[in-house]
Structure 1
Amino acid sequence: MPDSLKLNRRAVLKGIAGATLALPILEAMGSEVSQKNPRRFCAIYTANGMALPKEEHEIDEWHWFPQEVGQEFKFNKSTEPLSPFRNQLSFLGGMHHPNGTKADPHTCSDMWLTGAPLHNPKPGTYNSVALDQLIALHTKQHCRQPSLVLSIDAGTGFLSRTGTISYSVDGKPVPAENSPRRIFDRLFRGDTSSLEHEREKLNKRIKLVDAVLDTARSLNKQLGQSDREKMDQYLTSLNEVESRLIASEKWIDIPLKNQDYSHLNLDASPEGEPADYYQTMFDLIALAFDADITRSVTFMLNREDGMGISDTFPIKLGLASTHHQLSHAADKEGQLNFAKYDLFLSEQISHFLSQLQEYKDADGTVLDNSLVLFGSGASTTHNPRNLPTLLAGGANMGVKHGSHWRKEDTRLSNLYLSILHSMGIEKDSFGDSTGTFDQSVFTGV
């Protein structure tokens, strides 16, 4: 068994023994700090790109990007549900990851929040830290959960067909959750008995890891590369669970904010009606932000290359073909159906923004104090340039909206660096960034 796995195992044990953790903000800091509005981040990913019909299709009004650049842009049909938030969002055109043009196009979800050189990774690594997990490192001491990682299929998937867009500081995939009921229990039912039950389950899993490690050593490290990768992912999962439990236990005596959960459909399932499921998941994120349970969230709406549950969502909506098939459509009808699915996703994003707008902070709305990033790792048909990108919220975080901003070959990592700064995280760089994003959007705080 590689030493790196043993070190990861020790990291888990260190957590059980009592890892050092900053005290909750309500206990550790004065009122001047504790009364500041939290700054939050949510990244929402859809696979396979967006519908960008060609001129010969004669359906320009269904193009995901607005035709006009600047503040005079008009919403097209596939994004019209977002129009109530015109002054609280920006379309960002021309975005790309330089490493995306060199890699297998199916790794676009793997690198969306990292920008890592997946075509030529460093020895012994695959990915690098994702934006959400870097944010979580700086915000976790202020909230009950370090981060919330969600996806349509749960788990991690596998390389180039990932089931998560979140990667740890070691570049390992962070497992995602997809069950509304389990998410609700984790976020809002952190009583002593449930935490003890989770701790018991974790200890049993760790004993299993001990046995596997001992067996691996006795077999003279005969695990193959695939098995080592699976073990690595399992250890990452254990570490994630342990991290959540430690955070929850620190907050056990601090009551949750009083909220209304009556609108939640915890029986919603990705196997059921797409709108019911997505809206329930977004409602859970909004409630978690409102109660300041976490400040870092990712939600993967679809998986790449026809993988997973959501590929059939367009068929459930009466659009004839699967999502992946629609993304490759070269004819007018196919592109129109692809755009109609974009319309459906815009409706879900609009619902989410409405929820964030409804909840109030001490100064403004939760949306004013949250940055919501929505996009894809391909423009259309696996094209790694001009990635569809939308940024919403953050009015109290130094962000100016209400335009279709566009500049060709702009690095997504530059955008991510400015997002970090808006979160109050002063970093000199992120990934392959060459500087911060345009100051006409990020005006400073």
Structure 2
Amino acid sequence: MSDAKMTRRTLLRGAGVALALPYLEAVAFAQTGKVAGEAPLRMAFLFVPNGINMAHWTPDYEGNLTTLPSTLEPLAGMKDHFNVLTGLTQNWAFAHGDGGGDHARSAAAWLTGCKPKKTSGADIKVGLSADQLAAAKRGHLTRFPSLEIGCERGGLAGDCDSGYSCAYSNTISWRTEASPMAKETDPRLVFERLFGGEDTNESAEARAARQLNSKSILDFVLEDAKALQGRLGAHDRHKMDEYFTGIREIERRMAFLEKAGKETGVSGEALKARMSGGLPDYADHVKLLGDMMVLAFQADITRISTFMFANEGSNRAYKQVGINDGHHETSHHGRNPEKLENLKKINRFHVEQLAYILQKMQSIKEGNRTLLDNTMMVYGGGISDGDRHNHDDLPLLLIGGGGGTIQGGRHLKYKNGTPMTNLLITMLDRYGVPGETLGDSTGKLQQLF
């Protein structure tokens, strides 16, 4: 720890590892002269594909949330921390004369509000996404401007949906109108990228030694950590212990999953593919990546993230909840009661994973608030009813306190057809990127802040 004065960029160092610090009161005091410093604001976008069984998603009343629809019931203990938004639309996800390809268009337009060019070649084009607009303006404040993660691998070339490039279906983040941001799906690679070190060659050596000897990344920074502990108060020491426990738990779970793969004869690229496919357990995969996103926010490694629970058009089976048919197939329900019930189960399963992530964020204290209080998150997708492939009245949750400025616990109903991009530019304004337009935005939303 070479910094004479602690800052939010202070790192614990050792043998090629450079580990960032969580939010600490001592850091806030060093920077502001006050014990209770403000933690930074974060922003995240969590995407689910193929539409929703909307009858079990949308509250049948406006205003304060009371009894939640069955799909949202896993969030009952968190209902003061989110708003259900209805009526928002991504107009450019509709065909507009381009025929089939609603899945590709829905993902491509979700954070851009732009019409994707119908092509399966290299001449892809859509628009800058909200997360990357924020990263371009404020990403320099953290080690990584943004973090892109997901649970399904997928290339950025080829035809994935009726003549649309796979780039449109497999990412929601666009650095420029022609440059998609590839997501990382392998938990091990996400972990090493976030916590492994800044010197690529040196960190590779340290990583090899650590994995060979089954050592924790924390073992390499013990000397710096002990020196730091002597400069911290009791509350900050507890925060450090909490942070280190979180890192060790992630390492333990990754090692368990990797060992399970090797014991069944799966290793190397096959193991990576298996992990990226959510096996041996998809819920573990979501939670591992969610935990790493939370740790990255906690340590101020990044303040912006996108997380695709699955690619748009995904036909994953959800055997965890007793569904052997593929998700995409199930979403084309044709009003079949059995398929609608199965779709509801898949939707609820995703919300259960969301609840886990939110509870973790709510448990992390940052001064007088929590990490969840200091975050703005959008959860949802670019298709409403998967059978109709409609892109209006989208299933969307606005989650988190926005640094103490968002009132939660409400169902806010906007006029159907209101651009979803109006929500995005409203969030960007709160994030410190004011005066921007995005895609088809027409103005900021009311009632949010």
Give the TM-score, by structure 1 length.
Answer: 0.72
**Greater strand content:** 2
Q: Distance in 1 between matches of 2:317 and 2:365?
A: 33
Q: Distance in 2 between matches of 1:317 and 1:355?
A: 23
Q: Distance in 1 between matches of 2:33 and 2:329?
A: 51
Q: Distance in 1 between matches of 2:307 and 2:301?
A: 16
Of 369, 373, 388, which residue of structure 2 is paired with 1:364? 369
Q: How does 1:168-207 map to 2 (within 5 A)?
A: 168-192=175-199, 194=201
Stretches of structure 2 lacking an aligned partner (at least 5 in a row): 1-6, 11-27, 158-164, 206-227, 229-238, 258-274
Q: Distance in 2 between matches of 1:299 and 1:420?
A: 18
**Cα shift at 1:165:** 1.0
State the partner residue of 1:305. 313
Q: Distance in 1 between matches of 2:363 and 2:110?
A: 29
**Cα shift at 1:362:** 2.7
Answer whether contact 2:151 2:285 (CA < 8 A) is retained. Answer: no
State the partner residue of 2:162. none
State the partner residue of 2:294. 286
**Cα shift at 1:396:** 2.0
State the partner residue of 1:31. 31
Of 259, 262, 265, which residue of structure 1 is paired with 2:244? 259
State the partner residue of 1:117. 115
Answer whether contact 1:154 1:175 (CA < 8 A) is retained. Answer: no
Q: Distance in 1 between matches of 2:370 and 2:154?
A: 32
Q: Summarize deviations over 1:114-164 as a string: whole Å, max 9, x none.
A: 01122589x976111111111112332221111110122235434255221
**Cα shift at 1:336:** 0.7
Q: Distance in 1 between matches of 2:348 and 2:50?
A: 15
- Percent of aligned pairs sharing the same letter: 28
Equivalent residue letter for 1:298: T
SS of the aligned residue for 1:368 comes to coil
**Cα shift at 1:52:** 2.2
Matched, 1:323 2:322: no
Paired residue total: 348
Relative to structure 1, is the Cα distance of residues 115 and 33 closer, same or farther in structure 2, using a 3 angstrom cutoff?
farther
**Cα shift at 1:263:** 2.2
Q: How does 1:64-103 map to 2 (within 5 A)?
A: 64-101=57-94, 102=96
**Cα shift at 1:401:** 1.3
Q: Distance in 2 between matches of 1:426 and 1:369?
A: 18
Relative to structure 1, is the Cα distance of residues 48 and 120 closer, same or farther in structure 2, using a 3 angstrom cutoff?
closer
State the partner residue of 2:211. none
Relative to structure 1, is the Cα distance of residues 190 and 108 closer, same or farther in structure 2, using a 3 angstrom cutoff?
same
SS of the aligned residue for 2:328 comes to helix
Relative to structure 1, is the Cα distance of residues 425 and 341 closer, same or farther in structure 2, using a 3 angstrom cutoff?
same
Matched, 1:105 2:102: yes
State the partner residue of 1:206. none
Q: How does 1:203-214 map to 2 (within 5 A)?
A: none
Q: Which moved more, 1:164-173 or 1:141-150?
A: 164-173
SS of the aligned residue for 1:146 comes to coil
| Aligned alpha-carbon RMSD (Å) | 2.8
Relative to structure 1, is the Cα distance of residues 93 and 429 closer, same or farther in structure 2, using a 3 angstrom cutoff?
same
Answer whether contact 1:150 1:164 (CA < 8 A) is retained. Answer: no
**Cα shift at 1:326:** 1.1
Answer whether contact 1:37 1:363 (CA < 8 A) is retained. Answer: no
Q: Summarize deviations over 1:42-96 as a string: whole Å, max 9, x none.
A: 101011011124xxxxxxxxx1111222214421111100111111100000111
Q: Which moved more, 1:32-41 or 1:273-282?
A: 32-41
Stretches of structure 1 lacking an aligned partner (at least 5 in a row): 1-23, 54-62, 199-254
SS of the aligned residue for 1:429 comes to coil
Answer whether contact 1:417 1:436 (CA < 8 A) is retained. Answer: yes
**Cα shift at 1:347:** 0.6
Q: Distance in 2 between matches of 1:320 and 1:441?
A: 40
SS of the aligned residue for 1:80 comes to helix
Answer whether contact 1:397 1:423 (CA < 8 A) is retained. Answer: no
Answer whether contact 2:197 2:203 (CA < 8 A) is retained. Answer: no
Q: Summarize deviations over 1:297-356 as a string: whole Å, max 9, x none.
A: 0011112224xxxx3241343123110011111211110110011111111000000111
Q: Distance in 2 between matches of 1:329 and 1:321?
A: 12
SS of the aligned residue for 1:321 comes to strand
Relative to structure 1, is the Cα distance of residues 76 and 139 closer, same or farther in structure 2, using a 3 angstrom cutoff?
same
Give the TM-score, by structure 2 length.
Answer: 0.71
State the partner residue of 1:51. 53
